[in-house]
Amino acid sequence: MDDNESLVMEKLECLKEIRTRTLQLEKLKGRLKSEVESTETEERCLQEYRREMELLIQEKMAHVEELRQIHADINAMENVVKQGEEDRNRHLENAKHLHQEFQPLKDLIDKLRSDIGLPRLPELHEECDKFKPEFFDKQKLEWHQMCQDVVNEQVMPQQLMAATAAAAAQHMHLAASRTKQSMSVQQNQPQPPPHHQTMNASVPERPTPAAFRQQPPPMKSCLSCHQQIHRNAPICPLCKAKSRSRNPKKPKRKLED
């Protein structure tokens, strides 16, 4: 009888151990399943982040190409305007010389005509309004002022585009830094209980704001495409134009013996 009771007690103890181990196994299985689901969810989120980043980079490069093309068109138009100014000034100088030759000859003819009683010839400005005397004195100054106004109107859109491109580049840099820091913060945070993870496994977690903002590196604007690049970069990585310092170091003069 005692042997039977001992056998029954051993079986009961074994069943108790099995039950305890089984519950522990189920808990581990639940946690494992939750972690796998969280991993898959984060992987899907990362794929979306990468796709969004690629689209932003493509959009950025498209804007950079547009800005570079606009800048090239502006340079070409500036050359055309400069050539036009040279042609206009050359014609104006020729007109001045011809006017200087014309006036003494006309005065001589008028004197000869008056000697024989003939009326004088009409003045140039009496025949055509274009030949007014002030045309040759004020025209060059007025043209210079008009060209200066056109240049000022062109500079403002360029500054606006440069500021917009700089703000967009800085915004993308800060967004990438925040995303990277948010992922680091999420990895370092303690894991929630299993049942809480199971409930939130199907909901993608959004990146939490970073505890601090990373200080952006010193930047400068490229003189060709007006894109923000590193201050010490010798060549623009976008348009491959050489970057020159606006304040170059002056060479030291050698002391004479």
Is residue 220 in a domain?
A: no
Q: Is 224 a member of any domain?
A: no
A 10 A CB-CB count for 221 gives 19
d(CA 255, CA 237): 40
pLDDT of residue 195: 45
Residue 165: count other Cβ atoms within 10 Å of its Cβ: 20
What radius of gyration, in Å, describes the C-alpha atoms of the chain?
42
Residue 222 resides in a domain: no
The total of structural domains in the chain comes to 1
Residue 235 lies in a domain: no
Distance CA 230, CA 222 (A): 9
Q: Is 242 contained in some domain? A: no
Crossing angle of helices 2-115 and 135-188, rounded to 10°: 180
- pLDDT tens for 182-197 read 555 555 555 544 444 4
At 77 the pLDDT is: 94
pLDDT of residue 123: 81
Facing residues of 230 across strands? 219
As a whole number of angstroms, the distance between CA 151 and CA 138 comes to 20
Buried b (16+ CB within 10 A) or exposed e, 93-128: eebeeeeeeeeeeeeeeeeeeeeeeeeeeeebeeee
- Would you say residue 236 lies in a domain? no
Which domain covers residue 14, as residue numbers? 2-179
Task: Name the stretches of the chain with pLDDT < 70.
Answer: 1, 133, 136-216, 240, 243-257
Does any domain span residue 192? no
Residue 72 maps to a domain: yes
What is the pLDDT at residue 182?
Answer: 58
What is the structure's pLDDT at 28? 95
